[in-house]
Amino acid sequence: MTAAGPHKPLHMGAREWATLLLLSVIWGASFFFYRVMVRELQPLTIVFGRLAIGAAALHLFLLFARQSMRFPAGTWVRFGLLGLINNVIPFTLIAASETRIGAGVAALLIGAVPVLTAVFGHFLTHDEKLTWNRAVGVLFGIAGVAVLIGADALQGLANADFVGELICLSATVIYALGGLYSRRFRDIPPLKAATGQVTMGALIALPLSLAIDRPWTLPMPSAPVWTSLLGIAVVGTSLAYILFFRIVAKAGAMNISLVTLLQPVSAGFLGWLFLGETFTANAVAGLAIIALGLACIDGRLVKWIFGAGIAHRSSPPDKT
């Protein structure tokens, strides 16, 4: 699953960290949109609407940028596979799992995406090998998500519907593989890669929605549902996947998977900001542990601490 051709070494700089944080806020907000839409729409219909409107917005961006989507048929086939494993399957699996398990349990299970990405990347790529600081950082990150969400989610993990957990874990596996497969599109500009993926994902979701959900039998959605659908499509899909492919191109699949650790943080912050929810001690502690995990994965702080310690121990004694 390595991308063809030589590439610059993968690097997570300040711009990439800022982009990852923005992406986590965007996808964290998607939970609010889903809460509104699932009251009136079926999962596959939501997936199709999200991808179809998102694809339309991306094609408008391309039109204004005067860029075309002229690719060989083989590239469009690869876009179709990417749309299937990065959008249609995981979106549908997560929606289905949350009919059986709570959102907190789902967030814990989705938090395993970086672990799976790190393991798969170690064996399937040449430049995303598993290192000790990545392994420790991911474990800290998952522990931080668990603390952030609280004991109720941990208890729910033990008591939740096994089938629901299995469905959600299947989504994490697909997400990890989708992130690694996205590496194959590093030579394509992010706007075009996002457009190809989302367009093909919408075309795949359309017949599934028609056959399974039969959306024409449902009542006309209310204004809040339409607003939520537009928000999750234009911002949570179009803009989000442009940012996604930018990070993949610069920093690789492992680093983009870290967004699943930051999403609960972003969702909690948005709940505090807009819904009056309180920041508990668990939230503060969880945020600190996640930050420690991200620092380990980034590696620069660890190198600075250990480098300073080594330099201190190796410096000659003061003879004055």
Q: Output the pLDDT for position 301.
A: 58
Contact between residue 156 and residue 104 where contact means Cβ atoms under 8 Å apart? yes
Within a domain: 5: no
Contact between residue 140 and residue 185 where contact means Cβ atoms under 8 Å apart? no
CA distance 312 to 316: 9
Distance from chain centroid for Cα 307: 33
CA 49 vs CA 92, 225, 310: distances in Å? 12, 11, 56
Contact between residue 141 and residue 258 where contact means Cβ atoms under 8 Å apart? yes
Within a domain: 9: no
CA distance 283 to 288: 9
Which SS3 state, helix, strand or coil, does residue 39 take? coil
Within a domain: 28: yes
Within a domain: 2: no
Within a domain: 7: no
Within a domain: 221: yes
Count of domains in the chain? 1
CA distance 14 to 27: 20
Q: Output the pLDDT for position 264.
A: 74
Range of the domain at 74: 14-310
Within a domain: 262: yes
CA distance 146 to 142: 6
pLDDT tens track, the chain, 320 positions: 444 445 666 778 888 989 998 998 888 787 778 778 878 888 899 999 999 999 999 999 999 989 999 999 999 999 999 999 999 999 888 878 877 776 666 767 777 788 888 888 888 888 888 788 878 888 888 887 777 766 665 565 566 577 888 888 899 899 999 999 999 998 999 999 999 999 999 999 999 999 999 999 989 999 999 999 999 999 999 999 999 999 998 888 888 888 887 877 777 777 677 666 666 677 778 778 888 877 787 766 566 665 555 444 545 555 44
DSSP annotation of 5: S
Contact between residue 110 and residue 94 where contact means Cβ atoms under 8 Å apart? yes
Q: Output the pLDDT for position 320.
A: 44
Enter the tokens of residue 307.
């480098």
Within a domain: 318: no
